[in-house]
Amino acid sequence: MASIHLNDVSVDFVLYQGSARSLKKTLLRSSTSGTLKHDAHHRITVKALSGISLKLEHGDRVGLIGGNGAGKTTLLRVLAGVYEPTGGRIRVDGRITPLFDLGLGLDVDASGYDNIRMRAAYFGIDSDEIERKMEDIAAFTELGDYLDLPVRTYSAGMTLRLAFAAATAVDPEILLMDEWIAVSDMQFLEKAQRRAESFVQRSSIMVVASHVEDVLKRLCNKALWLDHGTVMRFGAVDDVLAEYHSQQAGGLTPW
């Protein structure tokens, strides 16, 4: 069974080091999101996440909410293993599929087909299984003969089609998304959303950051509200959204 445990997790980014005092002062004055401060080496750091403790189990579909700079993307990247926490501990059991930064990990010198095979191999899927699925995946991309060519010959839209198809070829255990699928290619958008929706159904744990309430209510059973990198509330999606909106009405947090 997939699970995620975070214990007192923090992430600090070093924003600036050096001696230009006016820039430092400007940065410190203009802080609207993560908490800016000086560290022991006189560097300016931003605390993007602070003291996050959380347990997610099978069946949890969690929407991350919070204003700009609240820490949603940083948390997703910590869960994906892109960022190491600078404090605390994280334990993730289960195969993680991030549906963001999709182009990362594509080998531009390899063909579309080989990229799909490499992605599957990375996830430990045996080659017979992926060859059985290949026809479907190829049809989904609508890239035709381009799948035999190196990815560096693809347009941005074609690369996205390939990356999305490759990422969703293998059933997820833990699915991470930064905003619900939004692509500029309208014809592909509808297909991609349908595929992503069934992908969500098949996942054991799903975490999505979104500003769109409709998406949160449709996909999630829980919500985690972040503010300045800390957890304000974690619970049933309707309860957390209601509380979030009542705070917002009080003018405390921008949506």
Ligand X SMILES: Nc1ncnc2c1ncn2[C@@H]1O[C@H](COP(=O)(O)OP(=O)(O)OP(=O)(O)O)[C@@H](O)[C@H]1O
Between strands 222-227 and 61-65, the pairing is parallel
Q: Of 70-78, 85-93, 200-208, 241-249, which part binds ligand X (CB under 6 A)?
A: 70-78
Options 26, 53, 68, 201; binder of ligand X; rule CB under 6 A: 68
Q: Is 199 left (phi over 0), alpha (psi -120 to 50) or beta?
A: alpha
Q: Of 68-76, 117-125, 144-152, 243-251, which part binds ligand X (CB under 6 A)?
A: 68-76
Give CA–CA dist 27/58, Å, rounded: 41
Cα dihedral across residues 151, 157, 162, 164: positive or negative: positive
Residues 6+ apart with CB under 8 A from 226: 64, 65, 66, 70, 71, 72, 75, 232
255 binds ligand X (CB under 6 A): no
Give CA–CA dist 99/97, Å, rounded: 6
24 binds ligand X (CB under 6 A): no
Minimum distance from residue 15 beta carbon to ligand X (Å): 5
Minimum distance from residue 47 beta carbon to ligand X (Å): 8
Cβ-based nearer residue to ligand X, 74 or 115: 74
111 binds ligand X (CB under 6 A): no
Cβ-based nearer residue to ligand X, 83 or 123: 83
Options 6, 9, 12, 34; binder of ligand X; rule CB under 6 A: 34
122 binds ligand X (CB under 6 A): no
Of residues 71 through 110, those in contact with ligand X by CB under 6 A are 71-74
Residues touching ligand X, count (CB under 6 A): 14
Q: Give 3-state DSSP helix, strand, coil % of the chain, rounded to 5.
A: 40, 30, 30
Q: Of 61-69, 85-93, 94-102, 156-164, which part binds ligand X (CB under 6 A)?
A: 61-69
Cα dihedral across residues 125, 96, 203, 94: positive or negative: positive
> Residues 86, 12: contact at Cβ < 8 Å?
yes
Residues 6+ apart with CB under 8 A from 215: 63, 180, 208
Could you report how far apart the first and last alpha carbons of the chain are, in Å?
34
Minimum distance from residue 219 beta carbon to ligand X (Å): 17
9 binds ligand X (CB under 6 A): no
Options 52, 54, 70, 241; binder of ligand X; rule CB under 6 A: 70
Coil/strand/helix, residue 31: coil
Minimum distance from residue 50 beta carbon to ligand X (Å): 11
Cβ-based nearer residue to ligand X, 74 or 253: 74
Cβ-based nearer residue to ligand X, 71 or 98: 71
Cα torsion 12, 17, 21, 23 to 10°: value is -70
69 binds ligand X (CB under 6 A): yes
> Which residues lie near ligand X (CB under 6 A)?
13, 15, 33-34, 46, 48, 66, 68-74
